[in-house]
A and B are shown apart, each in its own frame.
Chain A
Amino acid sequence: MLRFVIRRLIGMVFVLFVVSILVFLIFNVIPNSPPAQRLAGKNATPVLVKSIEEEWGFDESLPVQYVTMMKNVFTGELTSYSPRIPVNDQIQEGIPATFSLSIGAGIIWLSFGLLLGYLAATRAGGWLDRALTGVAIAGISIPVFLLAPVLIYFLTYKLEIFPNGGYVKLTEDPWEWFTHLILPWFTLAVLSIGFYSRVLRSNMLDVMNEDYVRTARAKGLSEGRVMTRHVLRNSLIPIVTLFGLDFGATIAGTAIITEVLYGITGVGYYAAHAISNFELPPIMGVTLYGAFFVVFINTLVDIAYAYLDPRVRLGASAQ
């Protein structure tokens, strides 16, 4: 177990290093006015621009700038250009909103995805299965930027069921927190509900042909028990991998569009803002935060795997 964690930590350092290099290079390659010029304002004197350049280190070579930036990242001194605010504080401030959105959406897509997939698989070929296939494909096909405005228009503006965007802290008012998040949760979850139900359905249909399912029937188990204890249980193993990847990606960035559309001031909202203002430090900070969570959650998934599939346990101890 210790070796496993150490290996994962080394892997994580490597991932973060590669990601940071890529972000830094991309930012310096895309067409962009010199940051010092923008910071100095429209009618700045060359002297002012020069002094800003020196102060921020923009006159140094790229490798030196990179090292300075990474030093700031790890000492928590990374600040955005304008206004000069510590990136760490901004990310920390956004985390509760982003986590509320992602975790809620994750719970919704997992439970609905599994429920619909189970129903479709146990009634494969029937009318319900066909109907659910249609619903799933519709869910996968609708883009978030279309779904969100449509929901907002009908449910918030026309019917006035839900509050009009924004985020209320859980600690402030749990009910308001909940009602403000219902639409964003579903917006974010719809695609995955469709996808997960399809994946679970096909997994279950595969597992139903396994010999041990026939054994389970031959020992006289009820059909419900055969389906849940034997078919569903073994079909969940690949779903866990998928969920780890998707959930990590949601926290790391998939939620950006949803946060912007619903005005949820989370990390994604902050990132979107930073991108449109060409602010490298926040982009770097948010990207590393995202990469960290993707790796972290996938490590949790690997640990969960050992619990879900005893054959993996043997492999780990044998190493």
Chain B
Amino acid sequence: MSAAPLLSVRDLRVGFATEGGLLQAVDGVGFDLKPGEVLAIVGESGSGKSVTAQTLIGLTRSKNSRIEGSVKLDGEELLEASDATMRRLRGERIAMIFQDPMTSFNPVYRIGSQIVEAIRAHKGDVDKAQARRQVVELFDSVGIPDAERRVDDYPHEFSGGMRQRAMIAMALALEPEVLIADEPTTALDVTIQAQILRLLEDLNRQHGLATILITHDLGVVAEVADRVLVMYAGRIVEEGTLDEIFYDPQHPYTWGLMGSLTRLDRPRPHRLPQIAGSPPSLLDLPEGCPFRPRCPHEFSKCPQEPGLEARLSEVPDHRDRCWLTPEQKREKRQVEGQIGLEAPQEAPRV
């Protein structure tokens, strides 16, 4: 708790001018990332988690975007930094890896040379042979076998898991302080997922690399995260430590996410549980709580949007956006003996 945050985000708002009006993709997001911490941002597609991450390194800057708020890295404001400053910072201080390793490398260049390119973009005095040796070492450290030979392979000669390892090697090349991993395991099969997560965890532990892990998969979160932000419709609806979120979730949306986890240790339900409905259009948000239309526990206070507040007096860092009292929540989140979100009233019960 005492360590100063490495990355501090306050009231971040990101909007895009579209033909249908201003699309507010991120609306008032704030969090701190401490050195060595793994922060997970969880949410469905369109909840604003990737936009948040890309905004941190200036990738959402464009003529059509409106970015407000504050993003400070070691006290330095990034939202006001020049494009040149942001460019130097990308890769060197904040590195990012992306969801689909199949399409994240340029198909026409050798993987090694794409990493050499990243190194030399920041360190002009490193010659190609030196940079290549460094890539071989990086490949070794992320567990790519036969590194000396594989640096000269093209992306299509790598498997998905190997590509994601190479992607991680590229992210580590300049020894960044922060790693943003945007759905790093989503496109991989389950056994490879576990390997990649273990790799990320090792890196976090060995190098104290602060990591922001973006995912929609609570299983991934449970493996590696220290703290969790749950996002919905561009807002944070709940935040807390891993244990707080998993054992004492406060927001109905979080219950829904927990309830839709498939569990192998329980009898298979007739139907896999899901959260009814779909996320609201960001151009046409419901008044009040944005989760209201999908929430079976809606009541008279919901047409007013609740603030992100600590509602449990004993844990001030566990905050949520739901009007229900902690006692009500404890009772309502129990569905068939485990945490979940009831099916809406009108739908037939299973």
Contact = CB atoms under 8 A, between A and B. Distances in A.
A309 B118 contact: no
A234 interface: yes
Which bucket holds chain B's interface residue count? 20 to 34
Interface in A215-229: 215-223, 225, 229
A220 B122 contact: yes
A220 B87 contact: yes
Do most interface residues of chain A lie in helix, strand or loop, or is the interface mixed?
A: helix
User: What interface size band does chain A fall in?
Assistant: 20 to 34
Contact of B121 (A219, A230, A310): A219
Contacts of A311: 107, 154, 156
A218 B108 contact: no
Contacts of B170: 219
Given A211-B98, A214-B59, A309 B108 contact: yes
Nearest to A222: B87
A50 interface: no
B87 to A, nearest CB: 5
A145 interface: no
A300 interface: no
A56 interface: no
A225 B57 CA distance: 18
Given A218-B57, A219-B91, A233 B118 contact: no
Interface in B49-63: 57, 59
Contacts of A309: 107-108
A232 to B, nearest CB: 11
Contacts of A310: 107-108, 154, 156
Given A310-B156, A311-B156, A220 B104 contact: no
Contact of B108 (A214, A220, A233, A314): A233
B175 interface: no
A21 B100 CA distance: 53
21 contacts: A210-B103, A211-B98, A211-B100, A212-B104, A212-B105, A212-B106, A216-B106, A218-B95, A220-B91, A220-B118, A220-B121, A223-B83, A225-B121, A233-B106, A234-B106, A310-B107, A310-B154, A310-B156, A311-B107, A311-B154, A314-B157
Top 9 nearest A-B pairs (CB, nearest first) are A220-B91, A219-B118, A220-B90, A211-B103, A219-B91, A212-B106, A310-B154, A218-B96, A211-B104
Interface of A: 210-212, 214-223, 225, 229-230, 233-234, 308-311, 314
